[in-house]
Amino acid sequence: MINKVVTSAEEAVADIPDGASIAVGGFGLVGIPARLIDALRARGVGDLTIISNNLGTDGFGLGLLLADKRISRSIGSYLGTNKEYARQYLEGELTVEFTPQGTLAERLRAGGAGIPGFSFVGFDVETANRRWGSICQIGLVKIVDGEEVDRASWLCKPPASLSEFAEDNVAVHGITADDVADAPDVRDCIARMVEFVGDLPLVAHNAQFDASALRDACRASGVETPQMLFACTLAQARATKLDVANHRLPTLAEHFGVELAHHHDACEDAAACAGVMVGLARAAGHTGSVMSFVHDSGFTLGSIDETRVTPVLRDRSGAGRAMQADKAAHGGVAAAVAATAAPQGSNQAGPAKRSSAGTRSGSKPAPWQSVATPDTVPEPNAEADPNAPLYGEHVTLTGEFEPHDKGELWAKIAEQGAQVGKNVTKKTTVLVVGEWATMTSKEKRARELNDKGQDIQIWPANKLLEVLGLSE
């Protein structure tokens, strides 16, 4: 148990940094922690968010911090008689969020209570080059009952066959070969990760990438791929009608008030992702497990095992969710992973009852129809900008890209001067993987060719949409 007893007011506030959010008790001038406020003022910290009924009065209590311009944001119920409070607010020097007293009390209670049963590990990796298995940093943040309890982060040497550090990747995360020269091998860090995670599900942003990177790193390092379930904050956020410009991690972190000071640091991204997942659950009023939250949103959890990475998928029939929940309840993670790797119901690309028009009963086309390749392959644009991201590449698509069809995407790919391919061949340089229930034959072929020395980039769908200007 943590020892929460301190010997002085100064010791009590010693760890409070600039930019902290502080809940302060009391009502008006009654019951306020005056000595703690004085000690905090003496430390000189600033840019504070104060969560309190009010900000006291001029020259006393929180009014002292306000007069010193130490408070940048106030969350409370009323201005009171503090003239400086009113002045800073009216002149735009102070951000003020007014909340009725009862609502404020409930927000504080909910924040302290956490979310019973909502436990997982936020997960993120950084890679040395465009091969997903070239992991050079792992970040983990453990959430228990909706509250952070632990975190871990390791720089690591990528697998020997994937150890080159590409200039583009270094420009994103700043990690170089010299930085990992004395770091442990990724296989050792994966072993630490497995111990840290235990039976908890992972949560990542664009989780298919991080899950696939983990599996690829295991295969390249010659270690057994751990069996794990995972959720995706990108999928969860898209399924929620949020008032945001896009669903990128920094945007969602800002929306939910989650700190993200160093984007593309694996631990910082894992923490931000965890905060977003908790924020989504709070906004939905959810209590219970991550699995039930994902299932209630209409998705199955994704899974990792030795043979495949199955992404988070829509489960329109509910059969896959029911099976996954049942297997998890009675057989644990391994049984749930096995059930996820062999999904049932509407996600399957198998036979279904067809109407005379060639579609399944109902308004939606069958899965195989939505991913069918067009008859005509567009020619690359001869006048395309050579600096376009896809210029000169040989691009193949696999899976579903709802709401975009492949004809639309093919045309935009060709506009950038790329050659579109129907199949994965020895000429393929980029395979874009959309949603599907299992690993497609095209992805299997691409991975086989990569194992033989070919360099095929495997992109998630959102990366292609961003490159084509179709992302949110």
CATH number of residue 424's parent domain:
3.40.50.10190
User: Does position 124 have pLDDT exceeding 60, yes or no?
Assistant: yes
CA 107, distance to chain mean position in Å, is: 24
As a whole number, the mean pLDDT across the chain is 87
The answer to whether 61 and 80 have CB atoms below 8 angstroms apart is: no
- Within a domain: 265: yes
Number of domains in the chain: 3
User: Does position 403 have pLDDT exceeding 80, yes or no?
Assistant: no
The answer to whether 466 and 432 have CB atoms below 8 angstroms apart is: no
Nearest 10 degrees: Cα torsion 385, 472, 320, 330? 110
User: Does position 1 have pLDDT exceeding 60, yes or no?
Assistant: no
What does the DSSP assignment read for 360-409? BSSSSPPHHHHTPPPS-PPPP-TT--TTSTTTT-EEEEESB-TTS-HHHH
- Within a domain: 358: no
263-277, 279-293, 344-358, 421-435 — most confident range: 263-277
Q: What is the mean pLDDT of residues 345-356?
A: 35
User: Does position 384 have pLDDT exceeding 60, yes or no?
Assistant: yes
Q: Examine the domain organization and report whether 234 and 333 are in the same domain.
A: yes
pLDDT in tens, 29-59: 788 899 999 999 999 999 999 999 888 888 8
Dist CA 408 CA 390 (whole Å): 16
Q: Examine the domain organization and report whether 66 and 188 are in the same domain.
A: no
- Within a domain: 155: yes
Q: Which of 20-29, 106-115, 128-137, 336-345 is predicted least confidently?
A: 336-345
- Within a domain: 355: no
- Within a domain: 472: no
Q: What is the pLDDT of residue 348?
A: 32
User: Does position 193 have pLDDT exceeding 50, yes or no?
Assistant: yes
Q: Examine the domain organization and report whether 309 and 161 are in the same domain.
A: yes
Q: Examine the domain organization and report whether 403 and 328 are in the same domain.
A: no
User: Does position 369 have pLDDT exceeding 70, yes or no?
Assistant: no
pLDDT in tens, 324-349: 999 999 999 999 998 876 544 333 33
Q: Which pLDDT band, with edges at 50, 70 and 90, does 374 fall under?
A: low
Q: Which pLDDT band, with edges at 50, 70 and 90, does 375 fall under?
A: low
Q: Examine the domain organization and report whether 13 and 128 are in the same domain.
A: no
- Within a domain: 362: no
Q: What is the pLDDT of residue 344?
A: 40
Give the CATH number, domain containing residue 85.
Answer: 3.40.1080.10
- Within a domain: 353: no
Q: Which pLDDT band, with edges at 50, 70 and 90, does 302 fall under?
A: very high
Q: Which pLDDT band, with edges at 50, 70 and 90, does 351 fall under?
A: very low
Q: Which of 84-93, 153-162, 177-186 is predicted least confidently?
A: 84-93
Q: Which pLDDT band, with edges at 50, 70 and 90, does 291 fall under?
A: very high
Q: Given 300, 319, 347, which residue is the final one in a domain?
A: 347
- Within a domain: 1: no
Closest to 333 measured CA to CA, from 307, 302, 311: 302
The whole domain housing 375 covers 367-467
Q: What is the pLDDT of residue 2?
A: 53
Q: Examine the domain organization and report whether 307 and 404 are in the same domain.
A: no
Pull the structure tokens for residue 275: 């905060």
Q: What is the pLDDT of residue 330?
A: 92
Dist CA 322 CA 330 (whole Å): 12
User: Does position 76 have pLDDT exceeding 80, yes or no?
Assistant: yes
Dist CA 136 CA 323 (whole Å): 36
pLDDT in tens, 412-423: 999 999 999 999
Closest to 400 measured CA to CA, from 374, 432, 371, 375: 371
Dist CA 230 CA 304 (whole Å): 8
Q: Examine the domain organization and report whether 24 and 86 are in the same domain.
A: yes
Q: Examine the domain organization and report whether 304 and 375 are in the same domain.
A: no
User: Does position 397 have pLDDT exceeding 90, yes or no?
Assistant: yes
Evaluated on CA atoms 444, 449, 453, 459, the torsion sign reads negative
Dist CA 162 CA 21 (whole Å): 42
Dist CA 63 CA 325 (whole Å): 53
Q: Examine the domain organization and report whether 243 and 388 are in the same domain.
A: no
User: Does position 140 have pLDDT exceeding 60, yes or no?
Assistant: yes
Q: Given 113, 138, 163, which residue is the final one in a domain?
A: 113
Q: Which pLDDT band, with edges at 50, 70 and 90, does 296 fall under?
A: very high
β pairing state of 302-304 and 309-310: antiparallel
Give the CATH number, domain containing residue 217.
Answer: 3.30.420.10
Q: Examine the domain organization and report whether 15 and 107 are in the same domain.
A: yes
Q: Examine the domain organization and report whether 371 and 333 are in the same domain.
A: no
Q: Examine the domain organization and report whether 341 and 419 are in the same domain.
A: no
Locate tokens 């696999």: which residue? 398
